[in-house]
Every structure is written in structure tokens, then in C-alpha cells.
Amino acid sequence: MIRVCFVCLGNICRSPTAEGVFRGLVEQAGLADEFVIDSAGTSGWHINETPDARATEAAAERGYELGGGSRKFVAADFARFDYVLAMDAENLTDLRGLSRTGEERAKISLLRDYEAGAAGEDVPDPYYGGDDGFEEVLDICERGCRGLLDSIRNEHGLA
């Protein structure tokens, strides 16, 4: 089983979107049985809330279903996941701060490191902006998640 967790600040906009997009791509690829896919937030500000309605609606228009209640990423999650994908540089710093070993630290990367030409870039926080921001997040998540899935398939020899 390959275990993947997407992490943003609130776990109501970007990381649930990335989770839904990645799950959709994995299902399309016929690989659902190979993966555990989850998301979490560094802040814990929206615990148990469902994803932001703007994110849910924008994702639904593209055929992705967002779900789950918001939860806070905790240090114990490093043992539960193989890949921990930060949405932006602040999430990356916070996650590195929570990691306790080199092995844990090595599991963390930026989602956009898997998007051609976008290494080191953020998935912009759409929370205080307009609907365009949610479309941009979806565009970015589709590119990053495709790259991530390709990379994992290569690494794990999945057809």
C-alpha cells in the first residue's frame, strides 16, 4: 500500500482539493487498491469542518468529489504516510518542524515539485480571494497530482 497525505494550512481548500484530484487520477488509472489517500492541515483552525463550499463546487464541476472533515497534521502522521505533500513553503517549514528524523523529513515535499517547470512554487491560498482562485488551485493540483502519480508509478513499478 502506498500512503499519500496532502497538507495545507486549514485543510478545507487546497489539500482536500489535491486529495480529491489525486484520488480521481488514481481511480482513472485503475490503481485505487494500491493507495491510501488523505489530507490534513497544519493549523487545526477548522477541525471537523467539511471542505469550503467554493472548493467543493469547483471540484464537482470537474468530476472530483471532495470529502472528509478537517484535521490537524500531527507528528504521528509521518509513520502513517510515505509521501507528505505540502501545498506551500509555509506548510513545508511547519512540516519539517514537526519531523523528528531524517526518514520523516525525507517524506516531505512540495506538491509543485512534481509539476514540470514549477519546482519550489506554492499552490496559492484561495481562501480570501474570489472564485478564480479555486479554478487556479484545481489547475495546479491536476498538474502536480499527475506528476506525482507518474513519479510514484515509476518508483514502485506500477504499470
Give the footprint of ligand 4NP on this chain (CB under 6 A): 8-14, 45, 125, 127
- Are 1 and 38 in contact by the 8 Å Cβ rule? The answer is no
- The three three-digit cell numbers of residue 80, written as one number: 502513517
- Residue 145 annotated to the active site: no
Q: How far is CA 73 from CA 29, 53, 103, 121, in A?
A: 28, 22, 17, 21
Look at phi and psi of residue 48 and say left if phi exceeds 0, alpha if psi is from -120 to 50, else beta. Answer: left
- Residue 52 annotated to the active site: no
Cβ 157 to ligand 4NP, closest distance in Å?
Answer: 33
- Residue 62 annotated to the active site: no
Cβ 127 to ligand 4NP, closest distance in Å?
Answer: 4
Of 5, 8, 13, 145, the active-site residue reads 8
Cβ 101 to ligand 4NP, closest distance in Å?
Answer: 26
Catalytic residues: 8, 14, 125
